Structure 1
Amino acid sequence: MSVSGSPSHIVRTAVTGGADLSWQVDLYKDLHRYPELSGAERETAARIAAELRRYPDWEVTTGIGGYGITAVLRNGEGPTVLYRADFDGLPVAEATGVPYASTHSQLNAEGQQVPTMHACGHDAHTATALGAMTILDAVRSSWSGTVVMVFQPAEELAIGAHGMVTDGLCDVVPRPDVCLDQHVLPGPSGTVYCSPGPMTTSSTTIEITLFGRGAHASMPHRSVDPVVLTAAVVMRLQTIISRELPPGEFGVVTVASIEAGKANNVIPDSAKIALSCRFYSEKWRLRAVEAIKRIVRAEAAAAGCEREPEFRFVGLLAATDNDEGVFEVVRPHFDDHFGEDSRDMDPWTASEDFPVIPTAFGCPYLFWTVGITPRRQWARAEAAGRLDIDIPSNHNPGFLPDLGSLPVTTEAAAVAVLACLGHQWRDGDASDDEWAAADWAGEPAGTAAAPAGSPRH
């Protein structure tokens, strides 16, 4: 066996003995104070690289797909397990009021100075991964195999994983037998949620340009008004979920942005809308994309447009679909380690770019979550029926992980890695069809290039 003893016992022994995690909370607070936007994480990446110097036996590579970093520990024969942590922040002004709250700001892609915040917990993800490395490093005599830590930038723009893969991630690190990922979210602090099957939705972002004919606002009869056309399109798109999906299937088609016109006396010649579409099922995602194209083209024809609408697919992510085999390997060890705080995970309607990495390697994966809301706060809100109102969600200015959840996320990561190191993975467990890249209805992925980072070494 590649692991001697139960993962839970090994982790408990490390935490109470040889693994020094006294630095972890201070590191987390420092990361929280200085969040950086997707693609601009220069100082965060430098801090991670500096922290990795405490692990001299791990092979560190920086500058993958911009600011991506990997750390590899080869510890004899055995499985290879990859664990991923993201580290970018968001353009949100923090409103938590804690002493280590972010007051940082940064230039965004449009050159505007915007406040930044770790409003999705990626600072906790980074501190967790480094803490798990400390545990795994301290108990090397208890396991054999290879551990790959991936520190990924630009998750919030859904380009970070693509950027690392296209920049040669698969050539930089050994091919894993399994990939793991963990995310913090609202829930009783320290509760670990894990289930098989679809856990986050696919995400399809579509920009649509509608071409009319401009005219003076006093002469609408001489125009093909794209504003009226846009209104018709927006209303008609609402029927896709209610009229074209079965009642038991989840789907979202949200028109999140409308741009048309600049003056009150000019009918513009074009309008642009941006759609965010979310599905667990690839079948119904494809059906919805075709319905969007059909409706937009038909409304444009009905309005008398002389030019076909343009569709630009600017963000495409597959659903996160947990492998049942990996779940069956890891979940019993979560149950053993966390007891009644190990629970089933409900599907999450957010989206993740983590699956891009295991798909590139052609291996199965597991994604799980950990609750980070102080338990008293959660219990009060639950009793009052105000969870959606009183508990800040990810991306909210008030989102803040309870510091007491940090040991749980760290131990969960270490337990999962050890569980996978102790399993004998068959070569080719996943078929080529199962892990092939998603068929995006013939549309290009539209992945933006990652920023230049520090040189690889």
Structure 2
Amino acid sequence: MRHMLTSAAIAAIGFFAGAAHAADLKSDIAADYGYLDGLYKTLHANPELSFMEVETARRMAAEFRKLGFDVTEGVGKTGVVGVMRNGEGPVVTLRADMDGLPVTEQTGLAYASTATGENRFGEVQPIMHACGHDIHMTSLIGAARQLVERKGEWSGTLILIAQPAEEIGLGARAMLDDGLYERFPRPDYVVALHDSASLPAGKVAYTPGWALANVDSVDIYVKGVGGHGAYPQTTKDPVVVGASIVTALQTLVSREVSPLEPAVVTVGAFNAGAKHNIISDEAHLQLTVRSYTDEVRAKLLDGIQRIARAQAASVGLPEELYPRIEIEQDYTPSTYNDPELADRLANRFVARFGADNVIQADPVMGGEDFAWYGRLEPKIPTMIFWIGAVSAEKVAAAQAGGEPLPSLHSPFFAPQPRPTILTGVEAMTAAALDLLQDTETE
């Protein structure tokens, strides 16, 4: 059976003015909010793009060091890892992502980002934390500050990860490929949070099992024989071939995948031609493909190639002019929340926030590269959960038919900082305290 470690009082450690008491986590987090608010606004105003998070990583490393973690920088390009050993026990990893998006902020906040910077290809772009990674980083630091203050309440090894390049789906794999599980203690659990643009601040949501989707990007280059638009009989029109591909692709989900298996094939772009009376010799289709299981993913990707080639054959194109299909190799895998871990932490959240503030949410077809942490063999139980980031009044107004809520990645998305951060810190701290316990089996 499992025994929880307790402590009557925890000694003061450095950054707090007095002793923190284990029984009053909520008030201790509130007392630390001034520091966290300053950190959040600094991060929000100074975002950096994927794999370019140099100053952000430097700040995260400094925060880790200040708390006494052993810190390694440059893991997976700009990633940061902090390790704190506190006796025998489980190894628990808490992860936050660091990168912003190429979006011009239009929130009107006093601390709004006006930053621009080069992406990894040397292109200058506007930058905004339009997905709340500044919330994630602040919650991670806030939780770390509480956990260091409460070292008498837990036993084991705590690992903090500040991860680059989530927005392009490459950062987690880059850190793993750089030896994350070999150079540092291999975790027993990995936990992360993500803010929600539709959930009221103060609420927590979780999804056992499949939570987020495989995300594949596919390009189809359709060939043809160009010519004058007045004499179509002398051509093989790639626009017609492309259009038939778009139509036929709809049968992949509706007729080839079980109705009980989620799947999405969306043609997001169709580009061809340059003038009214010219039939082009090429068209370009860009697809996003979503699934949960590896089996459905393979069925969709194989089906796309089969359908594209078949439509070309149907108009008499020779094999050398069949479409060229490129499937981006660096895909984002589906996220699977270990059900036992999800239920365990959900119970912890209910105990802290009340049943009315903890929601079991439906899975979605968005993607998150957090999935990689639980994919490598032997597999590690992982869980990502959501925290509300919008005022309850705005959510209620939107649900009543008022102004729609800005989504994640919108230039107008602005989390409500205080309740969002306080909830994020408390949830992440509570999760870590629950997992960082000695276990004994009778």
Asked if these proteins are the same fold (TM beyond 0.5), I'd say yes
Separation in 1, partners of 2:401, 2:263: 25
Q: Are residues 1:69 and 2:80 paired?
A: yes
Separation in 1, partners of 2:331, 2:223: 25
Q: CA deviation at 1:65?
A: 1.2
Deviation per CA, 1:316-371, whole angstroms, max 9, x where unpaired? Answer: 22221111121232121111001121221221221111010222362111111111
- Quote the residue 2:286 is aligned against: 274
Match for residue 39 of structure 1 among 51, 60, 75: 51
SS class of match (2:110): coil
Separation in 1, partners of 2:45, 2:257: 44
- In 2 relative to 1, CA 116–245 (structure 1 residues): closer, same or farther, beyond 3 Å? same
- Quote the residue 2:339 is aligned against: 324
- In 2 relative to 1, CA 2–135 (structure 1 residues): closer, same or farther, beyond 3 Å? farther
- In 2 relative to 1, CA 241–10 (structure 1 residues): closer, same or farther, beyond 3 Å? farther
Equivalent runs, 1:161-172 vs 2, <5 Å: 161-172=172-183
Separation in 2, partners of 1:415, 1:409: 10
Q: CA deviation at 1:17?
A: 4.8
Q: CA deviation at 1:28?
A: 0.6
Q: CA deviation at 1:97?
A: 1.2
**In terms of mean alpha carbon deviation, does 331-340 or 414-423 score higher?**
414-423
SS class of match (1:355): helix
Deviation per CA, 1:369-400, whole angstroms, max 9, x where unpaired? Answer: 11111011112222x145xx611111112111
SS class of match (1:354): helix
- Quote the residue 1:391 is aligned against: 405
- Quote the residue 2:308 is aligned against: 296
- Would the aligned equivalents of 1:15 and 1:135 in 2 still touch at CA under 8 Å? no
Match for residue 261 of structure 1 among 253, 273, 282: 273
Separation in 2, partners of 1:53, 1:110: 31
- Quote the residue 1:145 is aligned against: 156
TM-score (ref. length: structure 1) = 0.86
- Quote the residue 2:397 is aligned against: 380
- In 2 relative to 1, CA 53–187 (structure 1 residues): closer, same or farther, beyond 3 Å? same
Match for residue 386 of structure 2 among 350, 369, 379: 369
Q: CA deviation at 1:53?
A: 2.9
Q: Are residues 1:343 and 2:327 paired?
A: no
Q: CA deviation at 1:2?
A: 7.5
SS class of match (1:72): strand
- Would the aligned equivalents of 1:10 and 1:142 in 2 still touch at CA under 8 Å? no
- Would the aligned equivalents of 2:81 and 2:159 in 1 still touch at CA under 8 Å? yes
- Would the aligned equivalents of 1:93 and 1:397 in 2 still touch at CA under 8 Å? yes
Separation in 2, partners of 1:219, 1:110: 43
- Would the aligned equivalents of 1:392 and 1:398 in 2 still touch at CA under 8 Å? yes
**In terms of mean alpha carbon deviation, does 314-323 or 137-146 score higher?**
314-323
Equivalent runs, 1:98-109 vs 2, <5 Å: 98-108=109-119
Equivalent runs, 1:9-408 vs 2, <5 Å: 13-17=24-28, 20-55=32-67, 57-108=68-119, 111-185=122-196, 186-262=198-274, 266-306=278-318, 307=320, 308-314=322-328, 315-339=330-354, 340-360=356-376, 362-382=379-399, 384-385=400-401, 390-403=404-417, 404-408=419-423
Separation in 1, partners of 2:120, 2:440: 43
TM-score (ref. length: structure 2) = 0.88
- In 2 relative to 1, CA 11–271 (structure 1 residues): closer, same or farther, beyond 3 Å? farther
Separation in 2, partners of 1:140, 1:109: 40
SS class of match (2:254): helix
Separation in 1, partners of 2:438, 2:294: 30
Separation in 2, partners of 1:11, 1:410: 15
Separation in 2, partners of 1:27, 1:13: 23
- Would the aligned equivalents of 1:21 and 1:134 in 2 still touch at CA under 8 Å? no
- In 2 relative to 1, CA 146–10 (structure 1 residues): closer, same or farther, beyond 3 Å? farther
Separation in 1, partners of 2:438, 2:387: 23
Deviation per CA, 1:152-210, whole angstroms, max 9, x where unpaired? Answer: 11101111111111122122210111111111012111101123111111112112222
Deviation per CA, 1:229-271, whole angstroms, max 9, x where unpaired? Answer: 1122112212322333344433211111223334556543322
- Quote the residue 1:450 is aligned against: none
- In 2 relative to 1, CA 159–13 (structure 1 residues): closer, same or farther, beyond 3 Å? same
- In 2 relative to 1, CA 385–425 (structure 1 residues): closer, same or farther, beyond 3 Å? farther
Separation in 1, partners of 2:125, 2:434: 42
Q: Percent same amino acid among aligned pairs?
A: 38
- Would the aligned equivalents of 1:2 and 1:143 in 2 still touch at CA under 8 Å? no
Q: CA deviation at 1:144?
A: 0.6
Deviation per CA, 1:208-228, whole angstroms, max 9, x where unpaired? Answer: 222223345555434322222
- Quote the residue 1:429 is aligned against: none
Q: CA deviation at 1:295?
A: 1.1
Separation in 2, partners of 1:124, 1:425: 36
Return the letter of the residue paired with 1:34. N
Separation in 2, partners of 1:182, 1:423: 24
Q: CA deviation at 1:11?
A: 5.9
- In 2 relative to 1, CA 217–423 (structure 1 residues): closer, same or farther, beyond 3 Å? farther
Separation in 2, partners of 1:341, 1:157: 32
- Would the aligned equivalents of 1:374 and 1:402 in 2 still touch at CA under 8 Å? yes
Q: CA deviation at 1:20?
A: 4.1
Separation in 1, partners of 2:337, 2:392: 28
C-alpha RMSD of the superposition: 2.4
Separation in 1, partners of 2:27, 2:372: 36
SS class of match (2:380): coil
- Would the aligned equivalents of 2:92 and 2:158 in 1 still touch at CA under 8 Å? yes
- Would the aligned equivalents of 2:45 and 2:111 in 1 still touch at CA under 8 Å? yes
- Would the aligned equivalents of 1:3 and 1:144 in 2 still touch at CA under 8 Å? no
Matched length: 420
Long gaps (5+) in structure 2: 8-19
Return the letter of the residue paired with 1:304. G
Separation in 1, partners of 2:33, 2:351: 22
